[in-house]
Structure 1
Amino acid sequence: MGNTAGMPGLRGIDHIGITVPNVEQAVDFFVNIVGCEPFYELGPFEASELLSKTLDVHPEAVMKKLRFLRCKNGANLELFEYSSPDQNTQVPKNSDIGGHHLAFYVDDFDQALAYLIFNGIEVMGEPVVRTAGPSGGQTWVYFKAPWGLQLELVSFPKGKLYEQDYDQKLWHPAYPDQ
């Protein structure tokens, strides 16, 4: 087609799917620590050729359960729990192909960080405060879910410095209609 404008009708990211070792543990963490809201669940889906072809999983993989969560203003989470003979149980590092993290925006960084520490959540290093460059105005720190998934706490209540040079802004959870 040669169209360089992107997919027709694209509106944004609907959800982010993450495979976790235990759906109930993950739901508990995302609901009771992060503050997401649980919605519906599906499963189990037994091993099948359709599952293997549509999701590129081992032919004997079983999707034990999946659960949808809403995390305030932004993409929803779809949590999967699988059993599979070839399952890699290591959480990828940020530098691994397929490595990833979820960033949660908060209005008050210090209050949210204190909350995570109070709840025994592993915080990775010290907060990074950006004062220059395109991300100037941003404060962030990584933390981990109980099973090792890397997450980020981020805030930039007065915006980022890149905004001075661009007519448009990156999508922001505090201002979803921009």
Structure 2
Amino acid sequence: MAVRKIEHVGIMVSSIEQSIAFYEQVVGLQHLETIGHIDAQIRLAFLAFPGHSDTEIELVQGYSDQLPQEGRVHHVAFSVDDVEEEFARIRGLEPNGLDAEITTLPNGSRYFFFDGPDGERLEFFQSTR
């Protein structure tokens, strides 16, 4: 198994620009990049502490029209060395909620989601950064 660390925590937001400003000014994170998604209505922004991009915050805008009153943390992502190998391994374990295929973002990063035992969303993510 080649899961190495928590890659990022995804937070659903209503305004990506407002949230970037908040996390920069209030929390002290540095904006790394904002990218589109294969779903054109979704935008993603990645932030990390300056000089420490080992674990990031991912802001997700456009995933849903309604943000839940609780649980705005959408998922926890784990960095993996080989997303295809991990997808095959996880598929063999037959978890609930496993994506049908690996998604490739416009920047080349690749990921898939599945559910933990209590329905929490987990992501295995292979970054191009």
TM range, smaller chain: 0.3 to 0.5
Q: Which has the larger radius of gyration?
A: 1
Q: Normalising to structure 1: TM-score of the pair?
A: 0.35
Q: Normalising to structure 2: TM-score of the pair?
A: 0.46
Higher relative contact order (Cα pairs below 8 Å, separated by 6+ residues): 2
